[in-house]
Structure 1
Amino acid sequence: MSYIQLEHISFEYPNQTLALDEVNLNIDKGQKVAVVGENGSGKSSLFLCLCGIHHAQTGRYILDGEEQKCKRKDRNKLFRKVGYVFQDPEVQLFASTVEKDISFGAINAGMKGEALQACMDEVMEMTQTHDLRKKPPHQLSYGQKKRVAIAGVLACKPEVLLLDEPFAWLDNQQKKNTIQVLDHLHEQNKTIIISTHDINFAYEWADKLVVMKEGRVLATGHPQGLLDNEDLLEKAGLEMPLILKLTKKLDLDIRPNTMEEFLRV
């Protein structure tokens, strides 16, 4: 049985916009999943249902063998298991200092004393936010705010981490730092699900790709196979990764996993 199972999930906003339409999806524990698709394809709505902010009108959501309901006690339990990092970090930051912001969720979850301090030290070191701890969040750069938002979610010790466009408006070094955090979490067997428009990153990083269009899942599978499918890419409005473009241009039989592998060919 998969760790996350979505069965015929549909979600409609109050204005009658159908955001998710009969979504079926299985994700294993510890997987690195990239969700791709055009704007409006349903990626953010999917994440909001996965973390419990939205509750689907139809279908079943099963996490770790337990069906998720819309009752408050069930949602509170889900919030502790599934952490969501919004695309815009300013949506999440509200406390007077970075330290208070990062610790807020952990304290509400009952963490205190030495356990809280150890947790804070760990996540601030991982996200390189230790030197920001006394600063007001509104004085930080956008990249720093992103790191603080991630740290606040990690402090709650979620088993599943959802990141909506984690690289939006980040420079190259900030992106590398964020990828290092994701790799570290993967080593801890966390299930990591990101939405992204960076098709090259999705190809190199993910071990499962979810392609969405107009609220539906068009395809799931390994990035190498799906992103080499020109019909699927055209239907989903996606570009082929640069690595695959180059291998086709050079008429190579191989399909390297990363650009580094390609350059060694």
Structure 2
Amino acid sequence: MILQAIDIGYAYPGGGAALDGASLSVARGERLALLGSNGAGKSTLLLTLNGTLKPDSGTILLDGAPAGTTRADLKRLRSRVGLVMQDPDDQLFAATVAEDVSFGPMNLGLSTSEVRIRVEQALAALGITALAARPTHMLSFGQKKRVAIAGLIAMQPSVLLLDEPTAGLDPAGVEELMAVLTRLSEQGTAIVIATHDMEAAYGFADRVAVVAGLRVAREGIPEAVFADAALLADAGLKPPIVYEIAERLKAAGVIPADAAPRDRAELLGLIGGVLSG
């Protein structure tokens, strides 16, 4: 495990408890979806994982050791654990895309040539090389999200945390972004998304964790967690429609009992195969 939260407690000043005994582990290169209704504590947990918020209780471990709270400790933690907030305007501040993406690597004290290489690689990874010279205020919402991610990728983190990454994107934008995140995970970066978009989570995640009752109520492979109807009801969630349809079709013997389509395309492919056979 690269990153762990153990029994985290946190209360906002004057706002009551946001987390109470929340625990979560993140493994190298995995794709993890943190699920919960609005206000469940997903964002707060992400903010503690990268040191933006200091837990009132519990421990954050990085590579198995306490992350620490000194300025040097937090700099190391945030260089390894990047956080993309829900609104990219909260993170973009430089005049141009290239300048914004270069900010993080420059703060790591890298040479000018190394910074340039990292910026070029990050822009290419997100498919936004052509936007390098564009002013950040002239970007679309989806482009801003990609630039915010590129700025963190340029720091070569071990873990990338994203708060509601699909919010504000149209269906095509969601598909493009999730494809980018999948490629990043295949290159070894652990990706954690906090979301209530069950469809996107099901198509993306190797593992899901449900936040309810101020803690992580359950985690596991998506099919096992989504089969727990009582848990989802308590958490204010509904299973993905692809999962529900597939379960009905398996029960009716239309598709194989071991089939596990994760998205619309996979489900339609299974149905098409049955119909053509």
Fold-level similarity (TM above 0.5): yes
CA contact (8 A) 1:40 1:214 kept: no
CA contact (8 A) 1:244 1:255 kept: no
Q: CA deviation at 1:22?
A: 0.5
CA distance in 1, matches of 2:4, 2:75: 19
Q: What CA RMSD, in Å, does the superposition of the two structures yield over aligned residues?
A: 1.5
CA contact (8 A) 2:243 2:261 kept: no
> 2:268 aligns to what?
263
CA distance in 2, matches of 1:167, 1:226: 21
Q: CA deviation at 1:12?
A: 1.1
CA offsets 1:74-118 (integer angstroms, 9 cap, x no match): 111111110000100000011111111110111111122322221
Identity of aligned residues (%): 38
CA contact (8 A) 1:199 1:239 kept: yes
The residue type equivalent to 2:10 in the other structure is F
Q: Secondary structure at the match of 2:77?
A: helix
CA distance in 2, matches of 1:224, 1:249: 14
CA offsets 1:211-264 (integer angstroms, 9 cap, x no match): 011421111111111012111111111111112221333324344232333323
The residue type equivalent to 2:260 in the other structure is P
Q: Secondary structure at the match of 2:23?
A: strand
Gaps spanning 5+ residues in structure 1: where? none
> 2:247 aligns to what?
248
> 2:32 aligns to what?
33
* 1:183-198 paired onto structure 2 within 5 Å: 183-198=182-197
CA distance in 1, matches of 2:215, 2:259: 28
Structure 1 length-normalised TM: 0.94
CA distance in 2, matches of 1:198, 1:255: 22
> 1:222 aligns to what?
221
> 1:61 aligns to what?
60
CA distance in 2, matches of 1:254, 1:260: 17
CA offsets 1:131-175 (integer angstroms, 9 cap, x no match): 222222112111111111111111111111001111111122222
Q: Secondary structure at the match of 2:59?
A: strand
Q: CA deviation at 1:208?
A: 1.1
> 2:119 aligns to what?
120
Q: CA deviation at 1:27?
A: 2.3
> 2:73 aligns to what?
74
Question: How many matched pairs?
Answer: 264
